[in-house]
Structure 1
């Protein structure tokens, strides 16, 4: 299995022939692999480099500075996560990484915060205004890319263009910075355990270190080798449910960094409004293939996956 390249400029081309051909390639990638590289995204190279720079500065701060915005202090899962806080694979070690999560910033008195306090609310921001500005700029830019991609996916599935994008008014999309420090000993090779993502799609910006691996249909782990300025995109569980398993959410993992090697990556977890009713799309069911999944609120699904992954959230329930 090789991970295909999808060109966002072609997906949004004014030429109907060019656009339709790339939409077909996108559809094939979503059905057969669930992973692809996205090139010509329009994300400025300067912004991607700034995000890398600010991540290094943020994670290089003294531990007590990072702990001041510890994610365990946030009801809605925002802020800094220490090494070992997350265990994506329930069988192996906890993940050897530290993280920072942010999403849309809702004031504590917002009605959605009162209704769904574990998914909406204020961010815990880095104290450096420059870091925060870069994070916010990247969040906005990556969201625009995601909306273009979801429009193309709707077209591939013979749906209305805005079938997915109209579900992103009060969305719970998360931008995460991840630092994988050098692994402590040879036996601990688990940077991020094998898992599938929870939401619609994930747009990943990674540095040139490598380490991301994708599980193919034969059960073999294939390297998702970094490509300069490309995003790695994968289908999430929610999209798999929405499409009745037509679009596949594929397991992936990150091998721990080698001694003296630091790895940085930036997943953008594209997740719709909490109250999005996820029901099998019309083009993915038939008399021969009825809907496999009961309708579910997007937020309820994502919430259940969070609770299974983070010990500190289990303790609060």
Structure 2
């Protein structure tokens, strides 16, 4: 299927949004209308003026590239038996099949306490305190950004941010950081598995190589060109279900062909503890918008995901109608 050329993601300037409670006039502003439209139609948007230190981003990128440049036998020491933790080698298949880039996953502490330090110790037995310090600082800043964006999304849906249903989006949440690395030495084109994210939302940093594609409502693949200094945000399955289908979790993939540069992306997933109940708030349910999804836990979604894999659309399985 051909990709759409010349199209790109809606641009959201976070400096134009309030940081505290909003009133009705603000909710009806151009900025909030554009945010709602992006979440409803595409499920992806790009943010600028996000507040994360650009110097820190550049330094972390350099350190992650150095990490992936380590010999394979050293990186393999960081393979963990825990799901989405530590190192994952690349799997490159024929162009018609799904490929997986090299990756390194740093989960939040409830899955692996001090994950950055423990994974780092596998790679550098003598220690690498600068790597740990900067990566932990980046994790903290991107976590704070995820909370800020999620608050805007909750407000945009007309839900009181102090309500119990909204509060649990923050109280029972955590974040996973995954680095993906595409090696230019590969002789085959890599097309990653088309998928949706089962998390709440994703904050993606990507370098200037490009390759991200999003499937539109019409079923076409849309190219997203990198924009320096920005992050790509996408709605995940959990937020689609929590919003009663108002916001869209879109399929996406990466297409990486021959290049003179390795491709690096860093994805932060805002996620939840297994006991978190995914249930649309009552204030978003009415005759025109009946409840669309079963009330399930994050653990139910993970169990389904592990059973069928990422190629089936998770929200559809839990639909009521």
TM exceeds 0.5? yes
Three-state SS of the structure 1 residue aligned to 2:130 is helix
- Corresponding position of 1:167: 169
Return closer, same or farther for 1:38/1:164 CA change in 2, 3 Å cut-off: farther
- Corresponding position of 1:99: 103
Distance 1:176 1:26 in 2: 26
CA offset digits 1:3-39 (Å, max 9, x no partner): 2111112222579666752222211111111010011
1:172–1:274 Cα contact (<8 Å) kept: no
Q: Specify which of 15, 20, 39 is matched with residue 9 of structure 1.
A: 15
Distance 1:158 1:27 in 2: 11
- Corresponding position of 2:221: 221
1:258 is displaced (CA, Å) by 1.5
TM-score by length of 1: 0.83
Which residues in structure 2 correspond to 1:120-131 (within 5 Å)? 120-122=111-113, 123=115, 124-127=118-121, 128-131=128-131
Which residues in structure 2 correspond to 1:171-190 (within 5 Å)? 171-182=173-184, 184-186=186-188, 188-190=189-191
Segments of structure 2 that go 5 or more residues without pairing to the other structure are: 1-6, 122-127, 311-321
Three-state SS of the structure 1 residue aligned to 2:78 is coil
2:159–2:166 Cα contact (<8 Å) kept: no
Q: How many residues align?
A: 289
Distance 2:26 2:171 in 1: 30
Which residues in structure 2 correspond to 1:1-317 (within 5 Å)? 2-12=8-18, 21=29, 22-70=31-79, 73-84=80-91, 92-106=96-110, 120-122=111-113, 123=115, 124-127=118-121, 128-162=128-162, 163-182=165-184, 184-186=186-188, 188-190=189-191, 192-306=192-306, 308-309=308-309
Distance 2:227 2:288 in 1: 40
Three-state SS of the structure 1 residue aligned to 2:159 is coil
CA offset digits 1:91-143 (Å, max 9, x no partner): 9534241111112224xxxxxxxxxxxxx334342233322222211110001
TM-score by length of 2: 0.82
1:167–1:273 Cα contact (<8 Å) kept: no
